[in-house]
Amino acid sequence: MKIAIMGAMREEIDPILSTVEKYTSTEYAGNIFYECTYGGHELVIAYSKIGKVFSAITASVMLEHFKAQTLLFSGVAGGISKELKIGDLVMASALCQHDVDITAFGHPAGFIPEGTLMVEADAQLRSLASEVAVDMGIDLYEGIIATGDQFVASSERKEWIEKTFNADALEMEGASVGCVCQNFGVPFFVLRAISDTADGGASDDFDDFLKTSAQVSAKFILEMVKRLGH
């Protein structure tokens, strides 16, 4: 099976590239796509750059141009749930766009007509992840991830997102990538390790923990790849 692995920042895919070691690189539509085989699968790996627009472009290219049949996102997130500490892993059950606002026309926050408020991650990939977590002796949290084109560094905004979407973590790409995959009918999975808690100290924590948390997520994703059916 051809599997896409994407992150938003170089730091999120570097641990994957250094594990797979040998790969080819192709420049296409503003990104570099790395191709290799790993665990008996063909992989296409890329980082998109930050945010919903760039991540939607990269995901679309991975599916349409590189013909990936499943997509795994690996990266970091700001924690909302009090259970989530820096370094903890959270997989998305479903994702929403917290910055979509056409409430002026009576729509709920996050809703776009003819779309869905939440996009659900693939159930089989989530159950595979649960098995991997048990075998690795890792606590894997499952919850709603809210995506928006904002680095959230305020308790007020974080609490609004928690209250409005029942979200457990937030980041800047998951829902847009999920939306692309849903529209192309390709199963997807979003995994994030917590780098900060999206409040006043978020930017300092993000700088301190981006690399180590990205490594935690990448290691887990590669373990999933090894166990994916062919």
Smallest distance from the beta carbon of 172 to ligand ADE, in angstroms? 5
- Contact present, 70 and 186 (Cβ < 8 Å): yes
Please confirm, yes or no, whether 173 is among the known catalytic residues: no
The token duo for 31 is: 């990104």
Nearer to ligand ADE, 68 or 86 (CB): 86
For tokens 């090894």, what's the residue? 226
Helix axes 52-64, 174-184, angle to 10 degrees: 30
Q: How far is Cα 180 from Cα 57, in angstroms, rounded to an integer? A: 9
Please confirm, yes or no, whether 196 is among the known catalytic residues: yes
Catalytic residue among 122, 171, 173, 196: 196
Residue 157: HSE in the Cβ half-sphere, 13 Å Cα cutoff: 21
Q: How far is Cα 25 from Cα 56, in angstroms, rounded to an integer? A: 20
Nearer to ligand ADE, 177 or 186 (CB): 177
Interacting residues with ligand ADE (CB under 6 A): 76-78, 151-153, 170-172, 195-196, 198, 202, 206
Nearer to ligand ADE, 186 or 194 (CB): 194
Nearer to ligand ADE, 119 or 186 (CB): 119
The token duo for 115 is: 């779309």
Nearer to ligand ADE, 11 or 122 (CB): 11
Residue 98 burial (10 A CB sphere; 0-12, 13-18, 19+):
buried
Smallest distance from the beta carbon of 95 to ligand ADE, in angstroms? 13
Provide the residue count of the chain.
230
Smallest distance from the beta carbon of 111 to ligand ADE, in angstroms? 21
DSSP string, 55-112: HHHHHHHHHHTS--SEEEEEEEEEE-STT--TT-EEEEEEEEETT---GGGTPPTT--
Smallest distance from the beta carbon of 87 to ligand ADE, in angstroms? 13
Smallest distance from the beta carbon of 184 to ligand ADE, in angstroms? 25
Catalytic residue among 12, 162, 173, 199: 12
Question: Any bridge partners for residue 79, and if so which?
Answer: 169
Catalytic positions are: 12, 196
